[in-house]
Structure 1
Amino acid sequence: MSITVEEKKVLLSVNQLKQYFPIKGGIFGRTVNHVKAVDDISFDIYQGETLSIVGESGCGKSTTGRAILRLDEPTSGTIQFQEKDLLSLSKKEMRKVRKDLQVIFQDPFASLNPRQTVEQILNEALAIQNVVPKENRKHRIEELLGHVGLRPESMERYPHEFSGGQRQRIGIARALAVEPKLIICDEAVSALDVSIQAQVLNLLKSLQRQFNLTFLFISHDLGVVRHISDRVMVMYLGKVVEIADKKSIFEQPQHPYTRALLSAIPVPNPVQKRERIILTGDVPSPIDPPSGCRFHTRCPFAIDICKSQAPELKISAQNHQVACHIVS
């Protein structure tokens, strides 16, 4: 679903978010250092859109999603959701807000209680948030299963009796149960076969149109991202390096790291060739990241300023933000 400039309304705004994890050491278990998983990032999510976060493993994609949900308590920053600062809310207040913030996890089997039937799993969500009267919950569960393409009799079965794709549909139904406004999809299709991935992605797009949902879609698969996204945010070693609409990212990438990622996408046509950009060296440690631009140790275009001064995320073209000294 395409979002025009006139329709844009900020649903969630993240500002200077940091997520540091302490490293303990010594006899007394003191904090000796930190893993800087997410380090001072800012971005907005607009109502009704799909914003995808992409990057290599360890870049901070999933940690960003968990921080927004407060599954991990952020170190600092602000997260504004519908004019509420989520980080200032008590646990009781946050529980009420969770009705509007849901998540679909990567592994559908691990995220479902194996001792509960589908009816019990979905009823638990309805009961906690009390969105449907008790006498109407069974009918609501049948509706939810219908929305995700499962038959009503599925509610009497346990998670192990379903395929991986069907289990992920149950996870989607659970997220839908409390009528959320924002759903964070954390590698929601990466554990599925390619043919099943396409079915689940089409289901998500259909549900988005039907219920006016907003998605934060976390993935390492650029093919999947291209199919489902409105905008794309590229992360590297805890930093945002580029944000733009899908067309701009895939057709006119500006950051060297984004261009390297896109060059690695397989080309289905054996005749067609794509110039690969091979990055040298390893990804630095998030415990002791490089000074200046964190990508400069692997960037083929790095200049002196890249080694000493961290670039700011600036608008380089219409609705296109990039953090790079060599991009004007």
Structure 2
Amino acid sequence: MQAQTRKVILQVDHLKQYFPVKTNSLFKPKNYVKAVDDVSFKLYEGETLSIVGESGCGKSTTGRAILRLDEPTSGKVHYSGKNILELNKRDMRKLRGDLQVIFQDPFASLNPRQTVKQILNEAMAIQEVVPKKERLERLLELLSYVGLPPESLSRYPHEFSGGQRQRIGIARALAVDPRLIICDEAVSALDVSIQAQILNLLKKLQRQFGLTFLFISHDLSVVRHISDRVMVMYLGKVVEIAEKKSLFDQSFHPYTQALLSSIPVPNPKLNRDRVILKGDIPSPIDPPKGCRFHTRCPFVMDRCKTEEPELREVKANHFVSCHLV
């Protein structure tokens, strides 16, 4: 995919999400967990941009901040020419029809007291996208899109398997005719065989409805299958962003290289050098000065400890935040 020829559907500029930490002293200054710290990127219409990184890097928080499920500390999120973060509650509710989310745990994200019919009907009623008399037909369409039988409408979430529940979550997102869907670890709670089915379903629906995905995952094998571009985060910062092929063929940041080296190889006879990172991830309350990765980087220089690297384009559509490049 040639991302530069695509229309920008979402632009994130200098997004920050800080969470205050309680202190026991009145005189001690308040600390903050800097979960997302100055993140900027563009998302192009019809593509799948994946955000990857270790647990705690800020990838899920980035998705939640974009949707304002958590109110961001600062920054701008432009969608269709509007800064989402400046909208009032009424305008934001209207916009949620265009911006939907599929959560990691389908059981926790579905109301156990509602049938599938009630769950899907509720989304359409709030957004007023389908007249009441036409909703049953729309419900049956949604079930056919995600591969569930019509009798599913009268059943409750606990009566389904994990993969089926995730299909219900996908149907709920589709119910309001969205343009952009944020998939927050949408397949990580599923068995490997079911993961493949859900990923293929998402790709099919993307082609069918022209959807745009922001896909959040820690599984690089999954990311390689579904992505057009990949953005790597570490400790609240973007360290590398590129087309999928470019990133997997030649990554530049030492952290990205370490992540790629950890992908399991199906051939037991094939030897591959693993990059083992030493030390623990620093605290997001007090992140290191300079490059945040320098405490674990095998190629650290003095400059890395004092000067924060900028995200620079090192080749066509390939951006890296590293002094080594």
Instruction: Report the TM-score when normalising by structure 2.
Output: 0.98
Runs of 4+ in 1 over 2 A off after TM superposition: 3-7, 26-31
Q: Does 1:90 align with 2:88?
A: yes
Q: 1:311 aligns with which of 296, 309, 312?
A: 309
Partner of residue 142, structure 2 = 144
Matches within 5 A, 1:314-325: 314-325=312-323
Matches within 5 A, 1:171-210: 171-210=169-208
2:109 and 2:29 mapped to 1: Cα distance?
Answer: 31
Structure 1 position 25, deviation (Å) = 1.4
Q: 1:287 aligns with which of 285, 291, 305?
A: 285
Counterpart amino acid of 2:307?
Answer: Q
Partner of residue 244, structure 1 = 242
1:313 and 1:6 mapped to 2: Cα distance?
Answer: 17
User: Residue deviations 1:259-301, cap 9 Å, x none?
Assistant: 0000011111011111011111110000000000000000011
Whether the 8 Å contact between 1:105 and 1:186 is mirrored in structure 2 is: yes
1:298 and 1:323 mapped to 2: Cα distance?
Answer: 15
Unaligned ranges ≥5, structure 2: none
User: In the comparison of the two structures, how many residue pairs are matched?
Assistant: 325
Whether the 8 Å contact between 2:143 and 2:171 is mirrored in structure 1 is: yes
2:16 and 2:22 mapped to 1: Cα distance?
Answer: 19
Check 1:196–1:24 CA distance in 2 against 1; reply closer, same or farther (3 A cut).
Answer: same
Partner of residue 76, structure 1 = 74
Counterpart amino acid of 2:126?
Answer: I
Partner of residue 109, structure 2 = 111
Structure 1 position 30, deviation (Å) = 7.9
Partner of residue 255, structure 1 = 253
SS in 2 for 1:241: strand
Partner of residue 54, structure 1 = 52
Check 1:66–1:5 CA distance in 2 against 1; reply closer, same or farther (3 A cut).
Answer: closer
Partner of residue 133, structure 1 = 131
Partner of residue 20, structure 1 = 18
Structure 1 position 26, deviation (Å) = 2.4
Whether the 8 Å contact between 2:98 and 2:178 is mirrored in structure 1 is: yes
Counterpart amino acid of 2:217?
Answer: S
1:172 and 1:313 mapped to 2: Cα distance?
Answer: 34
Counterpart amino acid of 1:173?
Answer: A
Partner of residue 34, structure 2 = 36
Check 1:241–1:208 CA distance in 2 against 1; reply closer, same or farther (3 A cut).
Answer: same
1:277 and 1:27 mapped to 2: Cα distance?
Answer: 43
2:3 and 2:162 mapped to 1: Cα distance?
Answer: 38
Whether the 8 Å contact between 1:23 and 1:31 is mirrored in structure 2 is: no
Counterpart amino acid of 2:142?
Answer: L
Structure 1 position 24, deviation (Å) = 1.5
Whether the 8 Å contact between 2:3 and 2:44 is mirrored in structure 1 is: no
Q: 2:100 aligns with which of 99, 102, 112?
A: 102
SS in 2 for 1:99: coil
SS in 1 for 2:42: strand
User: Residue deviations 1:205-257, cap 9 Å, x none?
Assistant: 00000000000000000000000000000000000000000001111011000
Counterpart amino acid of 1:186?
Answer: D
User: Residue deviations 1:97-121, cap 9 Å, x none?
Assistant: 1000000000000000000000000
Partner of residue 45, structure 1 = 43
User: Residue deviations 1:122-166, cap 9 Å, x none?
Assistant: 000000000000000011000000000001111000000000000
Q: 2:298 aligns with which of 297, 300, 315?
A: 300
SS in 2 for 1:109: helix
Check 1:196–1:278 CA distance in 2 against 1; reply closer, same or farther (3 A cut).
Answer: same
2:231 and 2:156 mapped to 1: Cα distance?
Answer: 37
Instruction: Report the TM-score when normalising by structure 1.
Output: 0.97
SS in 2 for 1:183: strand
2:170 and 2:105 mapped to 1: Cα distance?
Answer: 12
Counterpart amino acid of 1:84?
Answer: K
1:6 and 1:24 mapped to 2: Cα distance?
Answer: 44
User: Residue deviations 1:159-181, cap 9 Å, x none?
Assistant: 00000000000000000000001
Query: Which range moves more in the overlay, 271-280 or 223-232?
Result: 271-280
CA RMSD between the two structures: 1.1
1:27 and 1:77 mapped to 2: Cα distance?
Answer: 30
2:236 and 2:306 mapped to 1: Cα distance?
Answer: 18
Q: 1:163 aligns with which of 161, 164, 169?
A: 161
Q: 2:220 aligns with which of 219, 222, 226?
A: 222
2:282 and 2:242 mapped to 1: Cα distance?
Answer: 25
SS in 1 for 2:177: coil
